[in-house]
A and B are shown apart, each in its own frame.
Chain A
Amino acid sequence: GAVVSQHPSWVICKSGTSVKIECRSLDFQATTMFWYRQFPKQSLMLMATSNEGSKATYEQGVEKDKFLINHASLTLSTLTVTSAHPEDSSFYICSAFPRTGAKTQYFGPGTRLLVL
């Protein structure tokens, strides 16, 4: 199946700092990627849709100035958590469709963020 990678796999940072998470499609081009957030023992919640070459679309309740998304190429989307606070600690997962018209998304391995 299609491969999606994320970097870093885990990160610990101090409150007030910014953290960048990368999502890469390794063997396909993705014009659209999705960012999800997952709290322990809960399901995935869609945060935003990342569109290559244009602005991301954020879900209701997600602060676009807090979670900056940049999709500068067809294989890379980045999520930057700005001025991180302990409540931002979570598991962040990205996904992408392997090709136009595909019905199945493939997910990255996730990034565990811990804000102290």
Chain B
Amino acid sequence: TQLLEQSPQFLSIQEGENLTVYCNSSSVFSSLQWYRQEPGEGPVLLVTVVTGGEVKKLKRLTFQFGDARKDSSLHITAAQPGDTGLYLCAGGRQAGTALIFGKGTTLSVSS
């Protein structure tokens, strides 16, 4: 059973387009992290959201945590080729415990 459903799994777009990646669960999480991973490297943290309804912005990236803390979204505005990579959402049930990862979204942005 996949506790965190992440979609879409693959996304190929043109430079300048907008996109949204979704992460959904039937479970409540105390926190949710978004990571970006390049091939052959470990995941790099983009953001942590902990409060229901929270919205965080990181340049062209906007992260939202659902009011019930069961879902999250990542929106990228005006995507650039440098945004290409694997995006992972991961939920934490409580502090100090292992994260539950979504299946990831492979994003390819072509110029």
Contact = CB atoms under 8 A, between A and B. Distances in A.
Nearest to A47: B98
Contact of B99 (A41, A105, A109): A105
A71 B25 CA distance: 32
Interface residues of A, number: 28
Interface stretch (A11-19, A61-69, A95-103): A95-103
B95 A97 contact: yes
B7 interface: no
A103 B92 contact: yes
Given A1-B45, A93-B42, A110-B42, A34 B33 contact: no
A46 B91 CA distance: 13
Contacts of B96: 32, 97, 100-102
Nearest to A104: B48
A93 B45 contact: no
Contacts of B48: 103-104
B103 A107 contact: no
Q: Which 10 A-B pairs have the closest CB atoms?
A: A103-B31, A107-B42, A43-B104, A110-B42, A109-B42, A104-B48, A43-B101, A43-B103, A44-B101, A107-B43
Interface of B: 6, 30-31, 33, 35, 40-45, 48, 50, 86, 88, 90, 92, 95-96, 98-104, 106
